[in-house]
Amino acid sequence: MILTVTLNAALDITYRVPRLEPRASHRVREVAERPGGKGLNVARVLGALGHETLVTGFTGGPNGDRLRALLSEVTEEGPVGDAFVAVGGDTRRTVTVVDEASGDATVLNEPGPQVTPAEWERFLDVYGGLLHDATAVALCGSLPPGVPVGAYGTLVRAARTAGVPVLLDTDGEPLLRGLAARPDVVKPNSRELAGITGTTEPLRAARLAQRRGAHSVVASLGEDGLLALTPEGVWRVEPPRRLAGNPTGAGDSVVAALLSGLVEGLPWPDRLARAAALSAATVRAEVAGEFDRVLYEELLPGVRIDRQMAAV
Per-residue pLDDT tens digits for 113-154:
999 999 999 999 999 999 999 999 999 999 999 999 999 999
What are the angstrom distances between the C-alpha of 86 and each of 9, 56, 142, 145, 147? 11, 10, 18, 15, 14
Per-residue pLDDT tens digits for 173-201:
999 999 999 999 999 998 999 999 999 89
Largest CA distance in the chain: 55
* Catalytic positions: 252
Per-residue pLDDT tens digits for 14-38:
888 898 888 888 888 888 888 989 9
Q: Does 220 have pLDDT greater than 80?
A: yes
Q: Does 44 have pLDDT greater than 60?
A: yes
